[in-house]
Amino acid sequence: MTLVPCLLLASVCAADPGLEASLAPLARKHQGKVAIAVKHLTTGESYYLNADEPMPTASLIKLPILIEAYLQAGEKKIKLTDRITLHQDDKVPGSGLLTTNFSEGTTFPLRDALHLMIAHSDNTATNLVLDRVGIAAVNQRMAAWGLKETRLNAKVFRGSTTSVDPARTRKYGLGSTTAREMVTLLELLQMSQKVPPAAKQCILGHLRRCEDREKFPRFLPTTVDLAHKTGSVNQARTDAGLLYLDRGAVALCVLSAENKDQSWRAENAGNRLCAEVARIVYRHFSHLDSEPSPSRPR
């Protein structure tokens, strides 16, 4: 097997030979920057590629927001039953349902805003959540957990007026992370006591309802239990989540940036990259042969 030159693909650490043989060529082929982190949370088997390089998150940063909201609810700082009122000036463009489908004056509980933020990646809902939990609180929590590159920079489509770090906003957009930090966050969610069991189950329930089927779920069997969050902007496609397999959970993150393919079709190269990585990881840890597996409906 030909090893990947360190100068070309830094941070290939604790690499499993089987995963490296499949994933490194896939990353090299992609026309853009790629970072990958994989860790089996039971065995510790892992693979890291460019995993310590900060990259844009796009809407993947909504995962730390979700975790912060549930932790604040447990700390009695907010209530998931708190009512939110939608105003016309709250509406922002991009993904989601609130902006185009709901009238000014609509009210709903914070819990429903969290659902919209994750299941539909609703940008307006995200900003309404941030009005309750705060940008600074998200970043402080991530830093306290040792995830110093996992940062939310501003509200969605409100960077000029709400940015807490204009330089990072210009460089990364909505947020930034590293592949290793995102897998660490998933491991903390799944394995640590930092997130109480009841909150953990609610958080995972939201992640299981993510409606984006163009990335990790694309080539996975419909029976696979997947809890994940995706992100998409013109130059970046991201996905991170937990695959629950017979032999234990696998934390997985794929970040891509500066992508040549900036289309908004399902066949976007960044989407396909995320999907192919998930398929390889699934088959590797399921100890399957190379025959294709049944895929989910697109």
| CA pair distance 255, 94, nearest whole angstrom | 20
Q: At residue 9, does pLDDT exceed 60? A: no
CB 226 within 8 A of CB 220: yes
Tens digits of residue pLDDT in 184-219: 999 999 999 999 999 999 999 999 999 999 999 999
What are the start-end ranges of the E strands in 216-283?
A: 225-233, 236-245, 248-257
User: Phi/psi of residue 194, each to 5°?
Assistant: -65, -30
The confidence band for 291, taking pLDDT boundaries of 50, 70 and 90, is very low
Q: What is the pLDDT of residues 233-265, one digit of tens each?
A: 999 999 999 999 999 999 999 999 999 999 999
pLDDT for the residue 289: 58
CA distances in angstroms from 42 to 223, 244, 245, 246, listed in the order given = 21, 11, 11, 11
For 262-297, b/e burial (b = at least 16 CB within 10 A) is eeeeeebbbbbbbbbbbbbbbbbbeeeeeeeeeebe
> pLDDT at residue 293 above 70?
no
Spatial neighbors of 226 by CB under 8 A, at least 6 apart, are: 208, 216, 217, 220, 241, 242, 243, 244
Question: What integer pLDDT is reported at residue 288 of this predicted model?
Answer: 80
Tokens read off for 62 = 């909504």
pLDDT at 13 over 90: no
The pLDDT, as a whole number, for residue 16 is: 54
d(C-alpha 14, C-alpha 145), whole Å: 22
In the predicted structure, residue 2 carries a pLDDT above the cut 90: no
| CA nearest neighbour of 6 among 56, 48, 54 | 48
pLDDT, mean of residues 11-36: 83
Task: Name 47's bridge partners.
Answer: 38
Going from the C-alpha of 62 to that of each of 12, 83, 123, 203, the distances in angstroms are: 27, 20, 9, 12
Residues of the chain with CATH 3.30.450: 1-53+217-298
- Residues 139 and 151: beta-carbon distance below 8 Å: yes
Residues 259, 265, 229, CA angle at the centre, nearest 5°? 70
Tell me what the pLDDT averaged over the chain comes to. 92
Residue 50 zone, left/alpha/beta (φ > 0; ψ -120 to 50; rest): left
What local confidence, expressed as pLDDT, does residue 257 receive? Answer: 98
Per-residue pLDDT tens for 27-46? 999 999 999 999 999 999 99
Domain 1-53+217-298 has CATH 3.30.450: yes
Question: Is residue 297 pLDDT above 90, yes or no?
Answer: no
The whole-number pLDDT of residue 287 equals 86
Q: What is the pTM of this model?
A: 0.92
Q: Which residues pair with 36 in a beta bridge?
A: 49, 254
Q: What is the pLDDT of residues 70-87, one digit of tens each?
A: 999 999 999 999 999 999
SS3 241: strand
Spatial contact of 279 and 293, defined as CB atoms under 8 Å apart: yes
- State the fold for domain 54-177: Beta-lactamase (3.40.710)
Of the candidate ranges 101-105, 129-133, 161-165, 294-298, the one whose mean pLDDT is the lowest: 294-298
Could you tell me which residues come within 8 angstroms of residue 296 by beta carbon, excluding any fewer than 6 positions away?
Answer: 213, 217, 218, 219, 220, 221, 222
Other C-beta atoms lying within 10 Å of the C-beta of residue 105: 9
| pLDDT the model gives residue 6 | 36
Answer whether residue 298 shows pLDDT above 60: no
**Parts of the chain belonging to CATH 3.40.710.10:** 54-177
- Could you tell me if 176 and 64 are in contact, meaning their C-beta atoms sit under 8 angstroms apart? no
